[in-house]
């Protein structure tokens, strides 16, 4: 789940299956009563139809928690106000050593957490460019870049376009957050 609408849809689906949702957040659901194996299959099928996936292996759950935390930080925080590295925040939030999380994430996803953060930041930059409310300097500041030149260099290395070229193309190549790799 990558947004509040996703949470709402998943909650509705689970309630349609007659479960009481005691807690739901990005990437995590607590249900009562505890689902049986057959009910887990029903939940997985119902979620799959909506484009979601039930994750039950502990390591897979941890990878999803990393992704969820990155999305939460990049898309729902003002990065210039965060005084520590995102990597430290992620490790602290998940109560795990960063080196363990990094190795686990790289093995599962085929890219580093750092590169995943950059990919998410570029998607957020695309969104902000599309809104047209902020200039590139303001976007760079909001996204925690040291300068608009640094943002432009990273943007071009990821997208193959400069931010101005992207803006001129009407932003036709944005990706859904759950497909960013």
The mean pLDDT values, 10 residues at a time, for the chain of 181 residues are 78 91 83 86 88 80 93 90 89 94 94 96 94 95 95 96 90 63 64
Q: Are residues 82 and 168 in the same domain?
A: yes
Q: Are residues 44 and 73 in the same domain?
A: no
Q: How many domains does the chain have?
A: 2
d(CA 98, CA 106): 12
Q: In this structure, is residue 36 part of a structural domain?
A: yes
State which residues form the domain around 99.
Answer: 63-181
What six digits make up the tokens of 118? Answer: 């950059």
What six digits make up the tokens of 167? Answer: 């803006």
Q: Are residues 26 and 90 in the same domain?
A: no
Q: In this structure, is residue 171 part of a structural domain?
A: yes
Half-sphere exposure of residue 105: CA atoms within 13 angstroms, side-chain side:
27
What does the pLDDT read at residue 1? 47
What does the pLDDT read at residue 121? 96
Task: Check if the beta carbon of residue 155 is closer than 8 Å to that of residue 148.
Answer: no
Q: In this structure, is residue 18 part of a structural domain?
A: yes
Q: In this structure, is residue 55 part of a structural domain?
A: no
CA 149 to each of CA 47, 71, 133, 162: distance values in angstroms, whole numbers, following the listed order: 42, 24, 19, 10
d(CA 148, CA 156): 12
Q: Are residues 32 and 87 in the same domain?
A: no
Q: In this structure, is residue 56 part of a structural domain?
A: no
Q: In this structure, is residue 128 part of a structural domain?
A: yes
**104, 110, 112: which is closest to 59 by C-alpha?**
104
The CATH number of whichever domain residue 117 belongs to comes to 1.10.10.60
Q: Are residues 10 and 73 in the same domain?
A: no
Q: In this structure, is residue 58 part of a structural domain?
A: no
Q: Are residues 78 and 43 in the same domain?
A: no
């Amino acid at each position: 789940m990558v947004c509040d609408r996703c949470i709402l849809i998943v909650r509705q689906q689970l309630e349609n299956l007659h479960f009481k949702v005691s807690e739901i957040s990005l990437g995590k659901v607590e249900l009562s009563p505890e689902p049986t194996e057959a009910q887990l299959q029903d939940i997985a099928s119902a979620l799959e139809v909506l484009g979601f996936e039930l994750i039950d292996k502990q390591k897979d759950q941890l990878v999803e928690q990393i992704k969820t935390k990155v999305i939460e930080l990049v898309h729902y925080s003002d990065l210039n106000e965060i005084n520590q590295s995102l990597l430290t925040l992620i490790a602290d939030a998940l109560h795990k050593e960063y080196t363990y999380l990094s190795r686990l994430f790289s093995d599962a996803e085929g890219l580093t957490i750092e590169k995943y953060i950059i990919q998410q930041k570029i998607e957020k930059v695309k969104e902000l460019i599309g809104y047209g409310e902020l200039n590139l300097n303001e976007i760079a500041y909001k996204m925690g870049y040291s300068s608009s030149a640094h943002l432009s260099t990273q943007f071009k290395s990821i997208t193959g376009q400069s931010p101005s070229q992207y803006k001129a193309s009407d932003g036709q190549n944005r990706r859904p957050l759950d497909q960013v790799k």
